[in-house]
Amino acid sequence: MTQYDGSCHCGAIRIRLESPKRPEEMRVGRCACSFCRRHGARTMGDPAGSIEFRAAAKDVSRYRFGLGITDYLLCAKCGTYVGAVMEDEGRSIGIVNVNALDVRDIFDPAPPLHHYDGEDAGRRRTRRRKFWMPATVLA
């Protein structure tokens, strides 16, 4: 496993991504929803890896919209979108915004834009199980 560290802009949220894959092997994408586009997010998950977000509880803001099944994690101090998590089948899975990683420039700078309009909660969970990774939020 290789460890990739990162943080929000002010450092209040620390990130640890672990993956057996090299960055060029990871599937980075851009979601076409208004939230992700407004944040310029490039996100990725690796089911063989894991993601950990660590911060004081007061420094993590959780935002839900759309289907209301996902917590989008933002720093309550600087506003940086660092990733997203959701509960699924008794576990937490998530993605990381690679822009919040220290080595963000080694990931695909212009990944494909994905449109998920029209998905219901079941279809969204099924898709995410294929690409999201075990996630932990320590706050």
Alpha-carbon distance values, 89 to 50, 73, 93, 119, 125 (Å): 17, 20, 10, 19, 10
The answer as to CATH 2.170.150.70 being correct for domain 2-138 is yes
Residue 87 has pLDDT above 90, yes or no: yes
Percent of the chain with pLDDT strictly greater than 90: 86
Query: What pLDDT, on a 0 to 100 scale, did the predictor assign at position 105?
Result: 87
Contact, 95 vs 43, CB < 8 A?
A: yes
- Average pLDDT (66-80) is 96
Question: Domain-by-domain residue ranges, the chain?
Answer: 2-138
Report yes or no on whether pTM surpasses 0.75: yes
In eight-state DSSP terms, residue 102 is T
Alpha-carbon distance values, 81 to 1, 38, 71, 85, 102 (Å): 25, 10, 11, 12, 14
Percent of the chain with pLDDT strictly greater than 70: 100
